[in-house]
């Protein structure tokens, strides 16, 4: 009778829950993994306070009081699945969960170091980019990353040491449900209290997107961040429809941006000439007109500046799409989506006033050419949708030599002139270079700069060699075009797609001791150089960004820029009284021309995201 009563007691809800709680309490590896993941989460949040995740900036770790119960809840959620297994299987399950978490954290760190954001489900559409990227990925590794695997080594050792006790690990569905349901209920409560009622600490948020992904990560831990990202991925995958009120706000934004100035001497200056635009991989502004050991880094660019319009306060505005964002922004004057890459998510979007469409309206033949595969960043279908009549990739060239991501700049730039000469004039040809891509380690036979000892074996030294290599073969390409007579009637435009050594390895530059300060900072500047043989050069210091390329070039070639004002974010840098630009990091650089202009112009970052998702600019 007594045993029966005990059995009944154990089967009551209270008894069952107590038993499950005891199972959790006595689970050695549950608590080991809980502590390990919590420590790794805190270290991760601390590391991303540094722009290159290689140190800790104490004042930037937390944006408000850390919501530790939220941290605990997410850790319990992922570890709950371990209790669906028993004996040795349970021990292995906890190891697998902990390993997956470490891989996720390390992947986030590597991506953060190169892109200032974190991994996302949107990236699954970008797997074609992995070809030939191994060296770039490896270059993102730092010694501090080892802290995310040390606990795994210890856990494996403990598993062997305690293997005789594995047979006592019980499967407990109730323990699983407890660790799943209770944290979920708390997270729902915290969300309602903090996000809806605003009863949290100052600046505290839970399930609410922040302007900074770092803050969202700090609010939720990487585990919570990616759960939240999954939800946002689902929401953002749905077609976005602009309401009538949003439409009015959009129109007002474009109206407020207009300047309505009379034309000046730059209008139609290059009307009827051919146009060749080159996006130069990782070209930063600080190398222009600079020398190392009395050797010019960019002798070709330095030479043509005397016949160019040179914008020396020009900034990259790329985001998750990096190089492909550079192409998008330059060709459409529209800012990219804030999650994933625009070329992968919306490759069929059309843009009425894209640069190729503008040039076609002026009677131009258009061509886009790349020395890599058309699937890389999904550039080929995207550029065709943007308006290029023809797009050719590496399969249309002799692949004599491959460096990094595609045909070497030497080989490609030697073959490109023949493709250009075959075009019907007037033409607009667009292309990119690749060899100066990170990790800036070109073959020794192409390293022509004699570096000082301080720069040997450094990323900075490698960057100088890579840029000088591309500059050399750009020069030879221009010579080919000149000898054939094409250059006499062709405007050649150069711009950097994004920063290079300062984007990826800024933390390493701090450890270099080299003369001068010119190489220490770049501040996201990339050059915009518009070259025309025989033109008397001019340097313009007006603040601008990649989105300003389209209206500036359109103006030079005689297009009606006023007609496109409602469909582009940029402004004509050759006819403006404003002096500012905005960055994808939500920075406003320059000066306001009226109170509130800063906030108004920063709206363009999110506006671009919405309008692309709604296919607002379709032709």
What pLDDT, on the 0 to 100 scale, is given for residue 2? 42
Q: Give yes or no: residues 171 and 271 share one domain.
A: no
Residue ranges of the annotated binding site for substrate are 437
Measured in residues, the chain has a length of: 619
- What strands lie across the sheet with 528-532, from one edge to the other? 390-392, 365-369, 427-432, 274-280, 490-496, 528-532, 308-311, 538-540
- The answer to whether residue 243 is domain-embedded is no
For residue 337, give the DSSP letter: P
In this structure, the strands spanning 308-311 and 528-532 are antiparallel
Alpha carbons 176 and 80: distance in angstroms, whole number: 5
Q: Give yes or no: residues 226 and 290 share one domain.
A: no
3-state secondary structure at position 565: coil
Q: Give yes or no: residues 154 and 219 share one domain.
A: yes
Q: Give yes or no: residues 333 and 470 share one domain.
A: yes
- The answer to whether residue 416 is domain-embedded is yes
Q: What are phi and psi of 156, to 5 degrees?
A: -60, -40
- The answer to whether residue 259 is domain-embedded is no
Q: How many domains does the chain have?
A: 2
**174 sits in which H/E element:** helix 173-190
Catalytic residue among 116, 172, 323, 584: 323
What pLDDT, on the 0 to 100 scale, is given for residue 203? 81
- The answer to whether residue 252 is domain-embedded is no
Spatial contact of 506 and 316, defined as CB atoms under 8 Å apart: no
Q: Does the annotation mark 323 as catalytic? A: yes
| Average pLDDT per block of 10 residues along the chain, 619 residues long | 46 82 93 98 94 84 88 98 94 97 96 83 68 74 95 96 81 95 96 91 84 85 93 84 93 95 98 99 98 98 99 97 97 95 93 98 98 91 96 95 95 98 98 97 98 96 98 99 98 98 92 93 97 98 99 98 96 98 97 95 96 91
Alpha carbons 319 and 306: distance in angstroms, whole number: 32
Q: Give yes or no: residues 99 and 168 share one domain.
A: yes
Residue 309: which residues within 8 A CB-CB, separation 6 or more? Answer: 529, 530, 535, 537, 538, 540, 574
What pLDDT, on the 0 to 100 scale, is given for residue 124? 72
Residue ranges of the annotated binding site for Mn(2+) are 281, 497-498
Alpha carbons 539 and 311: distance in angstroms, whole number: 6
Taking Cα atoms as reference points, which of 288, 296, 266, 304 lies closest to residue 493?
304
What pLDDT, on the 0 to 100 scale, is given for residue 10? 52
3-state secondary structure at position 309: strand
Spatial contact of 367 and 421, defined as CB atoms under 8 Å apart: no
Q: Give yes or no: residues 368 and 493 share one domain.
A: yes
Q: Give yes or no: residues 46 and 140 share one domain.
A: yes
- The answer to whether residue 245 is domain-embedded is no
What pLDDT, on the 0 to 100 scale, is given for residue 4? 40
Residue with tokens 């890459």: 341
What pLDDT, on the 0 to 100 scale, is given for residue 130? 62
* Residue numbers of the domain that contains 593: 265-614
Residues 557, 560, 565: CA angle, nearest 5 degrees? 120
pTM: 0.80
Q: What are phi and psi of 483, to 5 degrees?
A: -65, -35
Residue ranges of the annotated binding site are 281, 437, 497-498
């Amino acid at each position: 009778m007594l045993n029966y009563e005990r059995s009944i007691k154990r089967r009551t809800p209270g008894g069952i829950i107590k038993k499950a709680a005891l199972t959790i309490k006595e689970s050695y590896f549950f608590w080991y993994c809980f502590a390990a993941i919590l420590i790794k989460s805190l270290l991760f949040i601390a590391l991303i306070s540094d722009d290159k995740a290689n140190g800790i900036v104490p004042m930037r770790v937390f944006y408000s009081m850390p919501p530790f119960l939220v941290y605990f809840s997410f850790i319990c959620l992922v570890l709950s699945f371990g209790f669906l297994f028993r004996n040795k299987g349970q021990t292995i399950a906890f190891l697998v969960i902990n390993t997956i978490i470490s891989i996720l954290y390390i992947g986030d760190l590597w991506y953060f170091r190169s892109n200032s954001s974190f991994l996302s489900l949107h990236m699954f559409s970008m797997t074609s980019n992995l070809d030939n990227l191994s060296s770039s990925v490896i270059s993102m590794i730092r010694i501090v990353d080892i802290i995310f695997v040390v606990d795994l080594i210890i856990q494996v050792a403990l598993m062997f040491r305690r293997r005789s006790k594995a047979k006592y690990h019980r499967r407990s569905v109730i323990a699983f449900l407890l660790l799943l349901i209770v944290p979920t209920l708390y997270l729902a409560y915290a969300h309602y209290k903090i996000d809806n009622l605003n009863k949290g600490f100052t600046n505290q948020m839970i399930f609410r997107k922040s302007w900074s992904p770092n803050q969202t990560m700090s609010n939720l831990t990487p585990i919570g961040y990616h759960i939240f990202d999954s939800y946002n991925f689902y929401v953002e995958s749905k077609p976005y429809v602009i309401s009538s009120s949003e439409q009015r706000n959009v129109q007002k934004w474009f109206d407020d941006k207009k300047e309505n100035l009379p034309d000046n001497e730059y209008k139609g200056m290059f009307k009827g000439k051919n146009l060749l635009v080159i996006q130069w991989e990782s070209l930063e502004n600080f190398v222009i007109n600079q020398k190392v050991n009395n050797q010019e880094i960019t002798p070709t660019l330095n030479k043509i500046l005397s016949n160019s319009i040179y914008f020396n306060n020009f900034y990259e505005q790329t985001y998750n799409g990096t190089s492909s964002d550079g192409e998008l922004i330059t060709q459409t004057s529209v800012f990219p989506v804030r999650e994933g890459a625009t070329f992968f998510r919306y490759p069929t979007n059309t843009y009425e006033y894209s640069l190729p469409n503008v040039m076609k309206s002026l009677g131009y033949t258009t061509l886009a050419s790349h020395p890599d595969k058309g699937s890389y960043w999904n550039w080929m279908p995207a550029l065709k949708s943007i308006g290029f009549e023809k797009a050719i990739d590496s399969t249309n060239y002799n692949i004599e030599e491959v460096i990094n991501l595609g045909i070497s700049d030497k080989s490609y730039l030697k073959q490109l002139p023949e493709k250009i000469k075959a075009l019907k004039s007037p033409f607009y040809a667009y292309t990119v270079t690749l060899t100066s891509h990170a990790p800036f380690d070109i073959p020794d036979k192409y390293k022509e700069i004699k570096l000082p000892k301080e720069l040997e074996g450094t990323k900075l030294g490698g960057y100088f060699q890579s840029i000088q290599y591309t500059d050399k073969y750009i020069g030879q390409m221009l010579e080919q075009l000149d000898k054939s007579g094409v250059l006499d009637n062709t405007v050649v435009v150069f711009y950097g797609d994004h920063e290079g050594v300062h984007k990826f390895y800024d933390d390493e530059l701090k450890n270099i001791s080299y003369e001068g300060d010119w190489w220490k900072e770049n501040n996201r500047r990339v050059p915009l150089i518009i070259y025309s043989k025989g033109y008397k050069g001019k340097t313009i210091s007006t603040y601008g960004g990649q989105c300003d390329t389209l209206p500036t070039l359109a103006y030079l070639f005689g297009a009606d820029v006023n007609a496109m004002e409602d469909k582009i974010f940029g402004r004509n840098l050759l006819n403006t009284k404003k002096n500012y630009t905005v960055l994808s990091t939500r920075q406003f650089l320059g000066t306001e021309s009226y109170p509130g202009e800063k906030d108004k112009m920063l709206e363009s970052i999110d506006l671009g995201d919405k309008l692309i998702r709604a296919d607002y600019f379709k032709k």
